[in-house]
Structures are given as structure tokens and as C-alpha cells.
């Protein structure tokens, strides 16, 4: 697979188009058959291979237009596709660095590296001065070979991994790295030698050529940033938010967090749906197979395999919405209700003092509207786990059975009141599993008024959960074991 296609696949993945390995191989075969010349045909063909949903087709079209808005560079394209630079003419499709390199022959515009007179030639043209300088970059500039300069620049960009650029603030860093990879240090030594020996004309010409080259490199960096940084910076931000403590999430990041939760939930939904579609072909159902093949005199043309039925779990989420715990509760509830395709039976309860069910609000409103309402209604009071357990028992203890997963979210700090461990014990005896998620690290459990050391023995799982990453792992285990 050529480098251009590999980078395009990477760009699609950063733009929420999940291209699989098989689809990548199919895309490579498509490019081999069609080539890069007919962009319209290539776009249609690749979209059929790599995009599946309407949203993915829209993202694909946007990425394709952005990625292929310039001519494939010679070292990016398959060998048979490389155009003759003489015929190609290095027109506008080459991007801004080609416009800069036009000054190799046309003059340097604002930069005049030749002598101070107005008649002097500009750019990188003119008679070589100091050929055989010992600096490959200087010799390259003196030869005035635009194609070789472009190829060297692209090779240096690959060596410094320019495709990994993420932020605008990295432009200068990568520009400098590319220049150094091309031999800037040796070129500067040659420049200083000319100045020291009094060769002002040669020094001025070399300085101007280096300035023009740097401008071309900067344009190359800007172009790379234009079609990769949007997706990568988004991924970079999401990677950070996925691992930041939920109690520290700032208001301005809520929108990004909600989007991240939906993406994670969709991934888990797709994963769980695929698991349900896989048939258990390990056990042959003899009776049904024999009945189906009576018409064939007992020859088993049609086999029937025993199927393992997977029940969707019933989930009850009991959330402490007081203080900093409310922030974690916000995202747990958002996560659970984003999984409604595989978790259709979620009942939600909120408490700080008294406990109440908020399921109806989620059935009538979006989670974004229902969650703040629940926090406003039940939050802001002194935490009382004992009272909350009593209310929970009264509301739904009789409905808990061996298909029910009960998730408690709270720090286990009951302000000195009895947390009613006896009720938790009853819940554990009835439920399939009891999961307790605590935003505090385990080293803080049992300190002060924390009751976690008493609570943990009556839970199937008791874990620290203070980031989206940890929350995703816990929900994944819940779906896997259902």
C-alpha cells in the first residue's frame, strides 16, 4: 500500500470513519486498479469500500476533498503514477510551496539575495557560488533543481514524521526540524564562511535561497497541518478528556465530553451487537436436526445448532448527586442512557438525603435535560446513605432478581449516620451483581467518615471510577458478562 493511501486511511479514522484492515486492503486494490488520475472515479470507488453509514459518507467526502485537493507528491504516488515534472509544469495543484519555489526562476519577491542593484536576478537562480562547498543542501540550492529540492523536502518531512503534527504551535518546530534534516547546520557554516572571507555577494545569494527554502518548508508544514490537524487535535483533546478526573472537568468541555461519551457508547453498542450475532456452533441439536432432515431419509442436509440465549441485563443505577460526586453521576447516567440499544431496561435513582426515582424524566426528556433536573431536585443536601438505602428498599427491592445489575455510585461517606449495610446485603443476595463505583482512590477508603471498607464485602465489584476511561471499562465488563 502506498503512503498516500495509508495517510488517507489514518485521516479517515481520526474523522470518525472506522476503516477496518479488510477495507484498507480493498481500498489498496481499488487504487491499484483505478489509479489517482481520475479523482471523481476514485472518490466514488473508495467511498463504496470505506464508508458505510450516511454520516461516514459525509465525513469521507469532506476528508477526500481536503486530502486530495493537491497533486500527489512524487514520493507519495505509485511509481507508474509519477508524472514527468517537465510535462507537469508544477502548477497550482502543487500547493503553496510550489508557488514559493517558482521564485527559483522568477525572483524572490520581497527577498533580494543578489547585489543591491535593481537589475539583479532574484530567487535561487544565478550563477553558482561556492559549488562543492561540502554542504549537500548548498550544492542542491546552487544546482537550482526544483524537482530535487521538492523531493528532498518531502523526504525530510517523512524523516521527522511531519504527519504527526497536531497543533498550530508546532509549525515552527516541524519547519526547523525539516530544515535541519535537509542540512541547515552545514549550510549555515558555509554562509558564515562566505561572510568571514568577504564574499558578500555569495553570502547574500545563499541567505536569500535559504529564506525561500524555509518559506517553502513552512508552506509544506501548513498544508500538512490543514488536512490532518483537525482530526488529530480532536483525537488529542479526547484522549486527554478520557483520562481527566471527572470532578475536574470544566464547563467549557462538557460538550466535548458528551460527544466522547456517545462515541464510546456507540462503540460498545456495536461490539455487543456483533457478539450477539455470533452463533454458538459448538453443540449440535440432534433432535431438531433429525426432525428437519426426515424428508431426506435422515441424511443431514440441514443442521441445527444449539443457541446460547443472552439476556439484556436489567440495570438499576443509584447515584449520589451531592458535591463532587454529582459530576461523575452526570456522566454515568449519560453513558447508561446512551446505551439504550443494548441496555433498554435502565432505572435511575438519585439521592443526597432522600432517594427518588428519575427514570420517567429520562423517558420523556433527553439525558442532557434530565440529568441537571435530577441533580437540582435531589442534590444539595447532607449525604445520608442509610436513608437512601431505606428508600431504595421500599421502592424496588422486590423487583430485583437474578438478571438485575445494581450500580451504586458514591463516595460512601455517610456523615457518621448508619449506612444500612444490612439492606445492601439483601440487595446482593437478590441481584445478579452489585457494582459500587467510588470517585475516591482506594487509599482514601475507610478514612474519616468513609464506610467503604464495610460496603465493599457486599459488592460483586467495588472500584475507583473517576474518569471516562475507567467508566468505559466497567460498562464493557457489564455488557460482556450479561
Share of the chain above pLDDT 90, in %: 21
CA 54 to chain centre: 20
User: What's the pLDDT band for 369 if we cut at 50, 70, 90?
Assistant: confident
What is the rounded average pLDDT for all residues in the chain?
Answer: 78
Ranges of H-type helices in 68-199: 85-88, 96-101, 103-106, 136-143, 146-159, 171-182, 184-196
Which residue bears the cell 477495507?
Answer: 23
Q: Is pLDDT above 60 for 157?
A: yes
The H-or-E segment that residue 258 falls in is: helix 254-277
Region 99-113: mean pLDDT is: 45
| Contacts for 35 with CB less than 8 Å, ≥ 6 apart | 42, 78, 80, 81
* pLDDT (0 to 100) of residue 424: 95
Residues 47, 58: Cα–Cα separation, whole Å: 10
Half-sphere exposure of 157 (CA within 13 A, CB side): 27
Region 452-463: mean pLDDT is: 94
* pLDDT (0 to 100) of residue 419: 92
For the chain, which residues make up each domain, given as ranges?
3-67, 79-238, 312-480
Q: Is pLDDT above 80 for 77?
A: no
Which residue bears the cell 511531519?
Answer: 162
Tell me the sheet residues that pair with 349. 318, 357
* pLDDT (0 to 100) of residue 123: 40
Region 123-142: mean pLDDT is: 63
* pLDDT (0 to 100) of residue 144: 77
Question: CB 355: neighbour CB atoms within 10 A?
Answer: 23
SS3 content of the chain, % helix, strand, coil (to 5): 60, 5, 35
User: What's the pLDDT band for 107 if we cut at 50, 70, 90?
Assistant: very low
Residues 105, 155: Cα–Cα separation, whole Å: 23
User: What's the pLDDT band for 379 if we cut at 50, 70, 90?
Assistant: confident
The closest alpha carbon to 218, from 362, 397, 95, belongs to 95
| Range name among 63-72, 195-204, 390-399 with the lowest pLDDT average | 63-72
What are the tens digits of pLDDT across the range 187-228?
Answer: 999 999 999 998 888 888 888 889 889 988 988 888 777 666
Half-sphere exposure of 409 (CA within 13 A, CB side): 29
Residues 7, 131: Cα–Cα separation, whole Å: 38
Q: What is the CATH architecture of 312-480?
A: 3-Layer(aba) Sandwich (3.40)
* pLDDT (0 to 100) of residue 45: 93
Region 431-444: mean pLDDT is: 92
Is the whole-model pTM more than 0.85?
Answer: no
* pLDDT (0 to 100) of residue 84: 44
* pLDDT (0 to 100) of residue 100: 52
Amino acid at each position: 500500500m502506498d503512503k498516500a493511501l495509508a495517510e488517507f486511511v489514518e485521516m479517515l479514522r481520526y474523522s470518525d470513519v472506522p476503516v477496518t484492515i479488510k477495507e484498507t486492503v480493498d481500498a489498496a486494490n481499488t487504487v491499484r486498479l483505478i489509479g489517482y488520475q481520475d479523482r471523481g472515479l476514485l472518490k466514488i470507488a473508495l467511498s463504496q469500500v470505506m464508508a458505510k453509514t450516511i454520516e461516514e459518507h459525509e465525513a469521507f467526502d469532506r476528508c477526500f476533498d481536503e486530502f486530495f485537493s493537491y497533486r500527489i507528491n512524487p514520493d507519495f504516488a505509485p511509481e507508474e503514477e509519477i508524472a514527468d515534472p517537465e510535462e507537469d509544469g508544477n502548477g497550482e495543484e502543487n500547493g503553496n510551496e510550489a508557488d514559493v519555489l517558482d521564485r527559483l526562476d522568477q525572483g524572490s519577491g520581497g527577498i533580494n539575495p543578489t547585489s543591491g542593484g535593481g537589475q539583479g536576478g532574484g530567487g535561487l537562480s544565478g550563477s553558482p557560488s561556492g559549488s562543492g562547498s561540502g554542504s549537500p543542501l548548498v550544492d542542491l540550492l546552487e544546482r537550482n533543481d526544483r524537482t530535487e529540492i521538492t523531493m528532498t523536502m518531502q523526504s525530510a518531512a517523512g524523516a521527522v514524521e511531519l504527519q504527526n503534527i497536531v497543533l498550530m504551535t508546532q509549525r515552527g518546530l516541524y519547519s526547523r526540524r525539516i530544515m535541519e534534516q535537509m542540512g541547515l547546520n552545514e549550510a549555515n557554516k558555509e554562509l558564515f564562511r562566505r561572510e568571514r572571507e568577504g564574499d558578500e555577494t555569495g553570502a547574500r545569494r545563499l541567505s536569500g535561497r535559504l529564506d525561500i527554502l524555509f518559506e517553502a518548508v513552512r508552506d509544506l508544514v501548513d498544508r500538512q497541518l490543514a488536512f490532518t490537524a483537525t482530526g488529530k487535535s480532536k483525537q488529542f483533546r479526547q484522549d486527554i478528556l478520557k483520562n481527566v478526573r471527572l470532578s475536574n472537568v470544566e464547563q467549557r468541555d462538557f460538550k466535548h465530553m458528551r460527544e466522547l461519551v456517545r462515541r464510546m457508547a456507540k462503540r460498545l453498542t456495536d461490539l455487543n451487537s456483533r457478539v450477539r450475532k455470533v452463533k454458538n456452533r459448538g453443540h449440535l441439536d440432534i433432535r431438531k436436526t433429525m426432525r428437519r432432515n426426515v424428508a431426506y431419509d435422515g441424511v443431514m442436509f440441514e443442521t441445527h445448532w444449539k443457541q446460547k440465549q443472552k439476556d439484556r441485563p436489567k440495570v438499576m443505577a443509584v447515584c449520589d448527586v451531592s458535591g463532587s460526586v454529582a459530576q461523575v453521576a452526570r456522566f454515568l447516567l449519560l453513558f447508561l442512557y446512551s446505551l439504550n440499544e443494548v441496555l433498554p431496561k435502565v432505572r435511575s435513582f438519585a439521592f443526597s438525603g432522600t432517594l427518588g426515582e428519575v427514570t420517567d424524566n429520562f423517558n420523556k426528556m433527553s439525558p442532557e435535560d434530565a440529568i441537571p433536573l435530577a441533580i437540582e431536585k435531589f442534590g444539595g443536601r447532607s449525604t445520608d446513605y442509610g436513608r437512601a438505602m431505606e428508600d431504595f428498599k421500599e421502592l424496588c427491592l422486590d423487583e430485583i432478581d437474578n438478571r438485575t445489575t445494581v450500580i451504586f455510585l458514591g463516595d460512601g461517606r455517610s456523615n457518621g449516620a448508619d449506612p444500612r449495610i444490612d439492606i445492601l446485603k439483601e440487595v446482593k443476595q437478590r441481584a445478579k451483581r452489585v457494582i459500587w463505583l467510588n470517585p475516591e482512590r482506594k487509599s482514601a477508603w475507610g478514612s474519616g467518615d468513609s464506610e467503604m471498607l464495610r460496603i465493599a464485602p457486599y459488592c460483586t465489584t467495588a472500584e475507583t471510577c473517576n474518569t471516562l476511561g475507567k467508566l468505559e471499562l466497567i460498562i464493557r465488563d457489564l455488557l460482556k458478562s450479561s
